[in-house]
Structure 1
């Protein structure tokens, strides 16, 4: 008697194909169509940054998805930090994305080490780029803040635990990193200009 055949688990296209979500023709894209990710590709970030509705994110379970930063309260939308440079209350998603994309045209992301596999995937990551243009944003006092571009690198690192379901869709992201590390690197020469008339 032969041994019973076991089905080989299938991997979703977004877990194996870096272009998977760029081919979603029925999604509502923020800028009318998919972005150009020829330099760096990460399906979760493409969906988070460019798809208008959570229901179009194929890499997450929209009914369970939460994001937790540094042990804080679970957030259902992108959790942004508050600082003297930036306030989520005074910068909407569109302006925030444009601010950081303008400052660093390429902000690459890579996984450095993987500590465990599904359903809880723990890994160390790195996000880096070059500050080619000035940072311009609004702080928690509604003041317009400008930091001159220094042309140097910006490099932040952290650890994330992603809880995924059987289809490898993210149900929960727990991330730990120093949220001020990027701004310390942005203003490394402490040259921060505030438009006093903007308050």
Structure 2
């Protein structure tokens, strides 16, 4: 239980040391944290559970190594969409699993887990997370959360048309919020996650405009340009 609810650690599937700064930094600027929960509170237990789940989902490439979930029952769903299993997230990456295709990003045009993560981690190396409020306790835990970090690099990703989109870094905070309902078993492992949030709010906070955003269409080697 302590390994599930304690502070996050990377475990034996962590990336190479030189890649460590790309891990979510949950101690990132403590002054920016809005909620300071008591160590023994339900809020802290939920916060640690989700942080450990995110570490496992992002850095442990075999579901059999995930200790935060009930491996036989676990599913997740986003914004009322279909339930997916853990293998889906491992295949496409955590970002592609939770963001639908739009004019700035497309899971269908991100080749794999590593490519999808690179687009966001190059832009924002550290992405902190906290529980703002818990509405109900186990076995069905509903809570409001906040995910934030500083846009330190340019965003570069492919959109729903397969076009490469670049948004220049502005160095300011990107701050998104959402609500999650987590169903837990008697070992405090997740059996299902349902999350609601607005991914477009995330991209809009990057401040895309004619001055800050460019698109790079694939060009024919013979010089012909596609009409879009």
CA drift of 1:30 comes to 6.3
CA drift of 1:134 comes to 0.2
Where in structure 1 are there 5+ consecutive unaligned residues?
1-11
Normalised by the length of structure 1, the TM-score is: 0.83
* Count, aligned residues: 183
8 A Cα contact 1:116 1:123, kept in partner: yes
**Aligned mates of 1:187, 1:146 — CA distance in 2:** 11
**Aligned mates of 2:24, 2:57 — CA distance in 1:** 17
Cα RMSD, aligned residues only:
2.2
Q: Which runs of 4+ in 1 moved over 4 A?
A: 32-38
Residue 72, structure 1, aligned to residue 81, structure 2: yes
**Aligned mates of 1:192, 1:60 — CA distance in 2:** 39
Match of 2:196 in 1: 176
Aligned equivalent of 1:51, options 43, 60, 78 = 60
Aligned equivalent of 2:152, options 111, 129, 132 = 132
> Are residues 38 and 153 of structure 1, via their aligned partners in 2, closer, same or farther at CA, if it must alter by over 3 Å?
closer
Match of 1:185 in 2: 205
Match of 1:18 in 2: 7
> Are residues 137 and 161 of structure 1, via their aligned partners in 2, closer, same or farther at CA, if it must alter by over 3 Å?
same
8 A Cα contact 1:114 1:124, kept in partner: yes
8 A Cα contact 2:24 2:128, kept in partner: no
8 A Cα contact 2:106 2:158, kept in partner: yes
Where in structure 2 are there 5+ consecutive unaligned residues?
28-50, 90-96, 221-228
Secondary structure in structure 2 of the residue aligned to 1:197: coil
Match of 1:84 in 2: 103
8 A Cα contact 1:112 1:123, kept in partner: yes
Whichever structure has more helix as a proportion of its residues is 2
Aligned equivalent of 1:31, options 10, 15, 22 = 15
> Are residues 16 and 30 of structure 1, via their aligned partners in 2, closer, same or farther at CA, if it must alter by over 3 Å?
closer
Match of 2:179 in 1: 159
CA drift of 1:63 comes to 1.5
The aligned runs of 1:93-112 (5 Å cut-off) are 93-112=113-132
Residue 40, structure 1, aligned to residue 26, structure 2: yes
